Amino acid sequence: DAKTTQPPSMDCAEGRAANLPCNHSTISGNEYVYWYRQIHSQGPQYIIHGLKNNETNEMASLIITEDRKSSTLILPHATLRDTAVYYCIVRVASTASKLTFGTGTRLQVTL
């Protein structure tokens, strides 16, 4: 699976949009981009995934560049409960392939 690069930490004011970048310049054509988050002392929570089109669900939006070498997870109105470590993972989805967690981005939402 392709490696990803994320900033180690970010801050965001409550109510503002949080934009979390992820670089995956070696992504293959059949690899999806997945986002998970882990709130302190809990198991990771699935957020969203995409292949090449932008995706939106009740939690977030995923913007994937046209060349698919990078993506951005957008939390439109961050709240204190969104404080967590966010993981961007690239993997082939057609197999029982593993999720390989990097170090992620620690998002701190502040008042």
Binding stretches for another protein (CB under 8 A): 32, 34, 36, 38, 41-46, 49, 51, 87, 93, 96, 98-104
| Cβ 59 to another protein shortest distance, Å | 10
β-pairing, 31-38 vs 45-50, is antiparallel
61, 76 in Cβ contact below 8 A? yes
Name which of 20 and 34 has its Cβ closer to another protein. 34
| Cβ 78 to another protein shortest distance, Å | 20
24, 2 in Cβ contact below 8 A? yes
| Cβ 66 to another protein shortest distance, Å | 20
Residue 80 φ then ψ, to 5°? -60, -30
| Coil vs helix vs strand at 53 | coil
Name which of 33 and 78 has its Cβ closer to another protein. 33
Q: How far apart are CA 21 and CA 34, in angstroms?
A: 13
Name which of 14 and 32 has its Cβ closer to another protein. 32
| Cβ 26 to another protein shortest distance, Å | 20
